[in-house]
A and B are shown apart, each in its own frame.
Chain A
Amino acid sequence: AQSVSQHNHHVILSEAASLELGCNYSYGGTVNLFWYVQYPGQHLQLLLKYFSGDPLVKGIKGFEAEFIKSKFSFNLRKPSVQWSDTAEYFCAFLLSYNTDKLIFGTGTRLQVFP
């Protein structure tokens, strides 16, 4: 069955540290990929998405993600985190042949300490 794995369930960093959150999907065909973020007390919102083209995607607030097809991965990165990046991050993918099925990962909780 298609699934998304987010290996890091809880990440704790100090401000200015670099961030990389892992996301791997299990599906051999074409996919569309997303990262969503939920800040404390706020709604889930889109951070970035990849459909085609340049595999390095830039999103809001300095985040970027790289699609590596050979590794079935779409890892989220930020070179220098801030306290305000404390949030829960969800990776998701959409099967290109079935646009009714968006599959979410279990989420990674990021805590950034000043």
Chain B
Amino acid sequence: NAGVTQTPKFRILKIGQSMTLQCAQDMNHNYMYWYRQDPGMGLKLIYYSVGAGITDKGEVPNGYNVSRSTTEDFPLRLELAAPSQTSVYFCASSEWGLEGEQYFGPGTRLTVT
């Protein structure tokens, strides 16, 4: 199993550009999550999904959108990128929600200039 994969690994965006961060898992997990980690800070939840077709906001959803059309994929869309979105983005999945073990992807380092 590949586990949780994320693409790209690095990206530089100009202010106002848009992009989609891809996340896929092959463990048939219902729960998927997007986090961001700013320098010197803990991970903060952006959006999550409890199954295909169901998404909900986390702690810091502004400026982002998600979709979950399949169990495997959970892309994160950034519209009108801003410098405040410079961060490392982690995708994760779990079988039993946040009470269970989360499996993390390798992260995407995004810089907005």
Contact = CB atoms under 8 A, between A and B. Distances in A.
Interface in A58-114: 90, 92, 94, 99-107
A107 B42 contact: yes
A45 B58 CA distance: 21
A43 B45 contact: no
Contact of B42 (A32, A99, A106): A106
Contact of B104 (A9, A43, A51, A92): A43
Interface centre among A49, A99, A102 (most CB of B within 10 A): A102
Contacts of B53: none
B6 to A, nearest CB: 10
A9 B42 CA distance: 12
A42 B3 CA distance: 12
A7 B92 CA distance: 26
Interface residues of A, number: 23
A16 interface: no
* SS class, residues of chain B in contact with chain A: mixed
Assign chain B's interface to a size class.
20 to 34
Nearest to A107: B42
Interface of B: 3-4, 40-45, 48, 56, 58-59, 90, 92, 97-99, 101-107
Interface of A: 4, 9, 32, 36, 42-46, 49, 51, 90, 92, 94, 99-107
28 contacts: A4-B42, A32-B99, A36-B102, A42-B106, A43-B103, A43-B106, A44-B90, A44-B102, A45-B104, A46-B101, A51-B99, A90-B42, A92-B42, A94-B98, A99-B97, A99-B99, A100-B48, A101-B45, A101-B98, A102-B98, A102-B102, A103-B42, A104-B42, A104-B44, A105-B42, A106-B40, A106-B41, A106-B42
